[in-house]
Amino acid sequence: MSTTSFESDSKIINAPQRRVFEKLSNPDNLEKLKERIPAEKLDNISMGDGKLTFKTPMGAVSMELKSTEPFHSITYGTVQSPIPFDIRMELIPQGAEACEMKLIAGLQLNAFMLGMVQKPIKDGLNRIVEALAQVPF
């Protein structure tokens, strides 16, 4: 299996790059993102101890902070998952009071799986970046 990358669309966040980085690179702040998740979806998501855990049709997935590059990128990766993956948040300054964000997911997939999950992964990344852009920074 090889690692395949998927990118979200870019989204402008009306907050300085450093502030966005500091908030999203602290796993404890993920708890605050729950407000952006529809109530009916919260049964499948738990956050705490620096981890984000959620249920999927294929099994439970647990992620934690893997690495950062101040103030440019934040990478969260799986510690438990049927398919190992990571999600990197890239932040690009857009003047003093805004930044651009995009998400890049790297998944270890075989060719058969790639065809089945390509569109849902891209759609999911776009929903995540959209939700993150709405967080008050």
pTM listed for this prediction: 0.84
Buried b (16+ CB within 10 A) or exposed e, 25-40: bebeebeebeeeeeee
Using one digit for the tens of pLDDT, what is the confidence trace for 67-79?
999 999 999 999 9
Which CATH number fits the domain that encloses residue 100? Answer: 3.30.530.20
Task: Assess whether pLDDT exceeds 70 at residue 124.
Answer: yes
Could you give the residue ranges of the DSSP H alpha helices within the chain? Answer: 17-24, 111-134
Q: How many CB atoms lie within 10 A of CB 84?
A: 16
Q: What is the DSSP code (8-state) at residue 86?
A: E
Using one digit for the tens of pLDDT, what is the confidence trace for 22-62?
999 987 777 666 666 655 555 567 777 778 787 777 778 88
Q: How far is CA 120 from CA 2, 65, 85, 87, in A?
A: 19, 23, 15, 15
d(C-alpha 25, C-alpha 36), whole Å: 18
**Structural tokens at position 16:** 């300085």
What total of structural domains would you count in the chain? Answer: 1
More confident residue, 92 or 123: 92
* Residue numbers of the domain that contains 129: 2-134
Q: What is the pLDDT of residue 137?
A: 84
Q: End-to-end distance of the chain based on CA atoms, in angstroms?
A: 38
Whole-number percent of the chain with pLDDT over 90: 40
CB 8 within 8 A of CB 131: no
Task: Assess whether pLDDT exceeds 70 at residue 19.
Answer: yes
